[in-house]
Amino acid sequence: MNINKLLLYLVMAVAMVLPVASGCINKSPVDQAVICKAVSRSREPLMVADNLTPDVKTIYCSVKLAAVQPESNVKAEWYVVKSAEAGLTDTLIGSSTVAAETPYVAFVFTRAETLLPRGEYQVKLYYDNKFVQSVPFQVQGEAAPPAATLSESVLCSSIDRLTEKPIVSANIFPSNVSSIYCSVKISGADFNDQVKVRWVYEGGELGGDVEQKIAESSVKVEGREYLNFSISPKEGKPFPKGRYSVRFYVGDIEQLKLPFSVVEDGMLPALYISEAYVYAFKDKEQKEVNLTSRFPVNTTEIFFRARIYNAPPGTQMDVQWVIVHSDEAGVENYQVAEDKSVIDGTMEIASRLATGKDKLVKGDYSVRLLLNGEEKVVLPFKVQ
């Protein structure tokens, strides 16, 4: 055989062997895997990004499969590879498994209420429990500030139910207070924006200094200028004495934090006022209370109550009922009733505005509490 024929046979042999050899190479069951901020209905990636900010709420990993195999499954594990900010290394933060029954499958990670720590992350992908590949991404930069901003945050035990503004602000409360309110002014918010508050017990008679979340709630802004939230103790029990805080969030970003404490009555300052409110009874038996700031003209009695702590002996108390403005009666700042007395110590006080045979005139009213001639509480209400 001459050398030319030998070379020809070798070339033909290689040509015949290569396709067979290539068919033996193991092909990955995953064609493509990317991190993105959204996916289509068919789970294809949208808004692909491997650099994310700490306030990202939801992260997707979209995976294109080499073949649809409904009997097989794909698993994703989400890891913090390294975060100096959180002190984490190779930490599993989530996992899920789906069937390989569509050309694209998607995995989703939704963060908790806290922002994601900055650092390096990855998604590890497994096909039928065998590792296939990892998809790295980073969390870095700063969280985008929300458009809505909070200000004028105040704690109190009473609120103006007309404007939701606080009445007699405080940062210390008696343990037997029935509710603690926080009021906050919101600016630049859309109608559907939400503000969330979290009430935290930071330490005291329950022992230890480990923070405990005791309550949380959210409200939509819905065009209001002031928002208020409240917390009450367990039924039949006082608040545990100790240190607390209330924290305000917009878009899961903490904007404000107000510390406060709950103490024994004797530790409250002198002439401390708590739980001032106006109300009327819904029924003649005076059993069902209508705690409101708007009363119909046929209301026969309106009541005012408040609790005063540590009044020195001989404290002069004056409760004044005033028509602030009434077009119907043609008056401004007209006092219609007054209760005067001398008080001492800690007590609940009460006053009543009774109409007698005449109906109340429509207008803006207020009840004013003065102690030793100094105005302490002004509670507005309307008759309409």
For residue 18, being part of any structural domain is answered with: no
Predicted local distance difference test score (pLDDT) of residue 1: 45
Which domain, by its residues, includes 97? 30-139
pTM of the model: 0.64
CA dist 346 and 178 (Å) reads 16
Q: Are residues 94 and 38 in the same domain?
A: yes
In this structure, what token pair is assigned to residue 359?
């109906």
In this structure, what token pair is assigned to residue 69?
């195999």
CA dist 109 and 82 (Å) reads 18
CATH code (residue 336): 2.60.40.10
Predicted local distance difference test score (pLDDT) of residue 367: 97
For residue 51, being part of any structural domain is answered with: yes
For residue 360, being part of any structural domain is answered with: yes
Q: Are residues 36 and 126 in the same domain?
A: yes
Q: Are residues 117 and 153 in the same domain?
A: no
For residue 221, being part of any structural domain is answered with: yes
Q: Are residues 167 and 200 in the same domain?
A: yes
Task: Identify the residue whose tokens are 């103790």.
Answer: 233
Nearest to 256 by CA among 165, 151, 171: 151
Q: Are residues 298 and 224 in the same domain?
A: no
Q: Are residues 153 and 209 in the same domain?
A: yes
For residue 6, being part of any structural domain is answered with: no
CB 340 within 8 Å of CB 333? no
For residue 1, being part of any structural domain is answered with: no
Backbone phi, psi, residue 256, to 5°: -140, 155
Predicted local distance difference test score (pLDDT) of residue 357: 74
Predicted local distance difference test score (pLDDT) of residue 356: 74
Q: Are residues 126 and 182 in the same domain?
A: no
CB 293 within 8 Å of CB 161? yes
Mark which of 242, 267, 292 sits at the end of a domain: 267
Q: Which helix (H) or strand (E) holds 9?
A: helix 3-24
Predicted local distance difference test score (pLDDT) of residue 140: 94
Number of domains within the chain: 3
For residue 248, being part of any structural domain is answered with: yes
In this structure, what token pair is assigned to residue 158?
């009473």
Mark which of 244, 267, 290 sits at the end of a domain: 267
Q: Are residues 254 and 232 in the same domain?
A: yes
CA dist 273 and 345 (Å) reads 12
For residue 8, being part of any structural domain is answered with: no
Mark which of 109, 139, 169 sits at the end of a domain: 139
Predicted local distance difference test score (pLDDT) of residue 264: 93
Q: What is the dihedral sign for C-alpha 44, 49, 54, 55?
A: negative
CA dist 222 and 193 (Å) reads 8
Q: Are residues 158 and 261 in the same domain?
A: yes
Q: Are residues 299 and 340 in the same domain?
A: yes
Q: Are residues 50 and 85 in the same domain?
A: yes
- Please report, in tens digits, the pLDDT of each residue of the chain (384 residues total): 443 433 333 333 333 333 333 344 568 999 999 999 999 999 999 999 999 999 898 999 999 999 999 999 999 999 999 999 999 999 999 999 999 999 999 999 998 877 899 999 999 999 999 999 999 999 999 887 777 888 889 999 988 888 878 888 899 999 999 999 998 999 988 888 889 999 999 998 887 777 889 999 988 888 888 888 999 998 878 999 999 999 999 877 888 999 999 999 989 998 999 999 999 998 777 777 888 999 999 899 999 999 999 999 999 999 999 999 999 999 999 999 999 999 999 999 999 999 877 788 999 999 999 999 999 999 999 999
Q: Are residues 263 and 164 in the same domain?
A: yes
